[in-house]
Amino acid sequence: MAMATMLGFMMAIIVITGIVGALHPSSNVEVVEPQTLHLNGEFVESNLGTAVEPDGTVTVRIVAQQYDFVPRCIQVPANTPVKFRLTSADVVHGFLLPDTNVNTMIVPGFVSEVRTSFAAPGEYAMPCHEFCGLGHHAMWAHVSVLPRERFANLTPLERTSCAPD
């Protein structure tokens, strides 16, 4: 009997903390509405891609969806702090840049933020690394790291279009 009471008490604690946690997500977690990403807020299409901040650092905003990253090609300057902000329009995806510290899950309803810096120009393949459906294996994008001076000369449109040179 005491055992059953204990168990009931523990279950109650788990349920209550679960409910409270769901109602009040911890403060370091940013939430977004996946259904309306394209309509308003930070992740509208015109706001995606690489943006240069007033302090010279770079912010890259990406939406993951079955089975694409938008935009699919990203250009960033070398030797510059880069902040990736990602969210999903549908299911859980993964964002991985091999040989860097960038490796995060992209969960619908939340913003994933990863900071890094690329020491040298180069091309990085960017596979989705979380199984997200039949097209998962074909879900790729890439990051093109350009010399700082070259990046500075790109127009805002060129920064997201990755036109071959």
What does the binding site for ligand CUA look like in residue numbers (CB under 6 A)?
64, 67, 93, 128, 130-132, 136, 139
Tell me the torsion sign for CA atoms 37, 38, 40, 41.
Answer: positive
Residue closer to ligand CUA (CB basis): 63 or 78: 63
Nearest distance in Å: CB 28, ligand CUA: 24
Shortest distance in whole angstroms from residue 74 CB to ligand CUA: 16
- Tell me the C-alpha to C-alpha distance, in Å, between residue 77 and each of 85, 87, 157: 16, 22, 15
Residues 6+ away with beta carbon under 8 Å from 49: 60, 61, 62, 71, 74, 159, 160
Q: How far is the CB of 93 from ligand CUA (least distance, A)?
A: 4
Nearer to ligand CUA by Cβ, of 82 and 128: the residue is 128
- Rg (Cα) of the chain, in Å, rounded? 20
According to DSSP, the residues that pair with 118 across neighbouring strands are none
Using the minimum distance from each CB to ligand CUA, give the nearer residue, 117 or 142: 142
User: Could you give the CA distance from residue 143 to residue 122 in angstroms, rounded to a whole number?
Assistant: 8
CB of 37 to ligand CUA, least distance (A): 16
DSSP state of 24: S
Handedness of CA 28, 32, 37, 41 (dihedral sign): negative
Q: How far is the CB of 41 from ligand CUA (least distance, A)?
A: 22
